[in-house]
């Protein structure tokens, strides 16, 4: 970044005027440059003889410094714009710290740029036609339109960063229409199936699997968020769950912030009903009894569906495996005719909330941890259409 010099000033220094200018570094600290003007000054405090000549020297010196910085910046921009696009992608990946799953997607896109005509082209010369040819090649290789859309989004971020940093004058992707992502219809369940699943969980009492299923069906929380939930984040008196953690897969699972499709996190507070609150209370009492039996102390840092003796969280893949076994045994299939995945319980919560019209889309999006209501509208468009249709039917009956 070019130095932004102050106007500067002159001071007396051993019988001569000295010019001084300041500038702020990238570290936020103030730096100073000084230069002797060679112009004599009077030792008297109020005698400013020759000061105007010294200030003229200061202006000329400072103008020269500013021109040097401008030339240096232009040279850096020219060098940057001549760097291959794949090198810019590499630099972008090094500077941006995101969740492991997000980084995995970025790396997949980067590998499809690396070694291609697009990747070897200097970033300042990349055109919209170059990007279209690259995307056509991706489709020819058998990649889906959704995957091409994801890779396009990564490239758009890289080019946007290069524009902001002044490495290129304009981003050619701005005027391009991004490939359309084809959302897969959600494999939800019906109200009757929800009642059947909850009845089965009641028969299983408050086992970790049964409790995890109830939490998913009654709050819409993600699998990793349920497994990362601690008792300190559950307020049974206020009947709320504070979602502050999730599990990220990176050579095993590790504690992280909740997932957000935009790359951030979706920390949020979820109100819970009496039914789930009652199950959580009984489960907590049972865990406390287990710990007391082995003379171990209770801690609110323990995981709700984890192992109270070891203090470990329940592995999400173990939860998935137990759920798949139950689904196979019961023959549960969702609205798309596919076996109900654990993640489909989150979809079930959302679609049934929309169908029953128990809250507005904005409130639902916040409970789900979506970045905005538009994402909820896009994911659950079919459920919203059904809700609107039934609503208009009810209006007809009223009229």
Distance, in Å, from the CA atom of 234 to the CA atom of 243, rounded to the nearest integer, reads: 9
Residue 398 has pLDDT above 80, yes or no: no
Last residue of a domain, one of 34, 49, 79: 79
Q: Give yes or no: residues 263 and 341 share one domain.
A: yes
Q: Which of 124, 146, 164 is the last residue of a domain?
A: 164
In the predicted structure, residue 208 carries a pLDDT above the cut 50: yes
On the 0-12 / 13-18 / 19+ scale of CB atoms within 10 A, 107 is: middle
Instruction: Tell me the C-alpha distance between 145 and 151, whole Å.
Output: 10
Assess whether 352 and 322 both reside in one domain. Answer: yes
Domain presence at residue 173: no
Residues 72 and 199 grouped into a single domain: no
CATH value at residue 111: 1.10.150
Q: Is residue 225 part of a domain?
A: yes
Q: Are 145 and 205 in the same domain?
A: no
CATH number where 355 lies: 1.10.443.10
For 220, the domain range is: 191-398
Is 383 buried (19+), middle (13-18) or exposed (0-12) by CB count in 10 A? buried
Q: What is the pLDDT of residue 125?
A: 87
Checking if the pLDDT of 109 tops 50, the result is: yes
User: Is 144 found in the same domain as 284?
Assistant: no
Q: Is residue 91 part of a domain?
A: yes
- List own/partner pairs for 59-66 with CB under 8 A and 24 or more apart: 61/19, 61/21, 61/35, 62/5, 62/7, 62/8, 62/19, 62/21, 65/3, 65/5, 65/21, 65/33, 66/5
What is this structure's pTM?
0.66
Q: What is the DSSP letter of 30?
A: E
The predicted structure's pLDDT at residue 261: 57
Boundary-marking domain end, from 115, 147, 164: 164
In terms of Cα–Cα distance, which of 348, 337, 301, 342 is closest to 319? 342
pLDDT tens readout for residues 68-97: 887 777 666 555 557 899 998 998 898 877
Q: What is the mean pLDDT of residues 284-300?
A: 92
Q: How is residue 13 written in tokens?
A: 């220094």
pLDDT on residue 273: 93
**Percent of the chain whose predicted confidence (pLDDT) is above 70:** 90
Q: Judge whether 179 lies within some domain.
A: no
More confident: 385 or 187: 187
Q: Which residue has the tokens 């993640």?
A: 343
- What average pLDDT does range 219-239 have in this prediction? 95
Same domain? For 69 and 90 the reply is no
Same domain, yes or no: 287 and 364 = yes
Count of structural domains, the chain: 3
58 and 143 together in one domain = no
Regarding whether 388 and 240 lie in a shared domain, the answer is yes
The pLDDT of residue 250 is above 80 = no
In this prediction, residue 399 carries a pLDDT of 45
Average pLDDT over residues 211-223: 95
How much is the average pLDDT of 226-252?
Answer: 92
More confident residue, 18 or 170: 18
Asked if 131 and 251 sit in the same domain, the reply is: no
Specify whether 315 is located in the same domain as 254.
yes
Average pLDDT over residues 252-271: 77
Q: Residue 26 has what pLDDT? A: 66
φ, ψ for residue 253, nearest 5 deg: -105, 145
Q: What is the pLDDT of residue 395?
A: 44
Query: Chain-wide mean pLDDT for the chain?
Result: 86
How much is the average pLDDT of 141-166? 90
Report pLDDT digits (tens) over 36-61.
999 999 888 788 899 999 999 999 99
DSSP structure class, residue 8: -
Q: Quick check: helix, strand or coil at residue 17? A: strand
Do 224 and 93 sit in the same domain of this protein?
A: no
């Amino acid at each position: 970044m070019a130095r932004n010099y102050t106007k500067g000033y002159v001071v007396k220094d051993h019988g001569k005027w000295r010019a001084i200018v300041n500038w702020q570094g990238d570290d936020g600290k103030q730096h100073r440059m000084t230069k002797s003007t060679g112009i004599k000054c009077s030792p008297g405090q109020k005698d400013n003889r020759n000061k105007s000549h010294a200030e003229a020297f200061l202006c000329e010196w400072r103008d020269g410094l500013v021109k040097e910085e401008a030339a240096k910046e232009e040279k850096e921009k020219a060098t940057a714009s001549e760097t291959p696009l794949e090198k810019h992608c590499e630099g972008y990946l090094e500077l941006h710290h995101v969740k492991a799953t997000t980084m995995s997607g970025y790396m997949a896109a980067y590998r499809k740029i690396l070694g291609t005509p697009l990747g070897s082209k200097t970033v300042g010369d990349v055109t919209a036609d170059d990007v279209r040819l690259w995307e056509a090649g991706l489709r020819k290789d058998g990649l889906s339109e959704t995957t091409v859309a994801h890779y396009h989004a990564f490239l758009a971020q890289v080019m946007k960063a290069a524009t902001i940093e002044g490495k290129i004058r304009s981003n050619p992707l701005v005027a391009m229409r991004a490939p359309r992502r084809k959302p897969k219809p959600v494999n939800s369940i019906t109200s009757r199936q929800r009642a059947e699943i909850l009845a089965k969980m009641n028969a299983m009492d408050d086992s970790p699997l049964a409790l995890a299923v109830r939490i998913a069906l009654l709050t819409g929380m993600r699998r990793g968020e349920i497994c990362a939930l601690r008792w300190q984040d559950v307020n049974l008196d206020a009947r709320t769950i504070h979602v502050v953690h999730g599990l990220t897969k990176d050579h095993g699972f590790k504690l992280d912030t909740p997932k957000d499709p935009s790359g951030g996190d979706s920390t949020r507070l979820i109100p819970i009903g009496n039914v789930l609150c009652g199950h959580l209370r009984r489960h907590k009492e049972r865990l406390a009894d287990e710990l007391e039996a082995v003379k171990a102390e209770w801690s609110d840092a323990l995981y709700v569906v984890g192992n109270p003796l070891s203090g470990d969280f329940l592995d999400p893949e173990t939860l998935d495996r137990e759920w798949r076994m139950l689904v196979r045994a019961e023959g549960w299939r969702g609205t798309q005719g596919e076996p109900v995945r654990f993640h489909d319980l989150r979809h079930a919560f959302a679609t049934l909330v929309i169908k029953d019209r128990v809250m507005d889309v904005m409130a639902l999006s916040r409970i789900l941890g979506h970045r905005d209501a538009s994402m909820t509208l896009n994911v659950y468009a079919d459920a919203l259409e059904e809700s609107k249709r039934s609503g208009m039917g009810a209006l007809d009956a009223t009229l």
